[in-house]
Structure 1
Amino acid sequence: MTGKYILEGREPKPKDSAEFLNKGEANLIQLKLDKLRYAAELRDIRFRILLLKLKEEENAR
């Protein structure tokens, strides 16, 4: 628990956590989410390429 919540004797709620995010931290979180999304899209593209290669090999037989 953080400062004011300890004094009040309660657990912070999710909406209370937003109080502590400044714009820079929010931007950093968004950048990390974008990076994860990009990595997932890249894995998807690589997977599709592998599937196409497998189909080509099957057709070549």
Structure 2
Amino acid sequence: MYNDSVQNVKSELQRLEIATGSIHLIPSNHQDENFIGLSSKTPWYTNATLIAALDEVFS
């Protein structure tokens, strides 16, 4: 489901001619999963947390 969502979002961004190479799509919910640290509820996700991705944008 996550990979399908990522592909759908990236396809739509490409259709709008928005580069997708540096876009992070981070699975999260209202319980702060993958916000500061990676969540044990999403062991298949090993990329950046939300805070790490924001740090990358603003550095």
TM-score, length basis structure 1: 0.28
TM-score (norm 2): 0.29
- Which entry has the higher C-alpha Rg, 1 or 2? 1
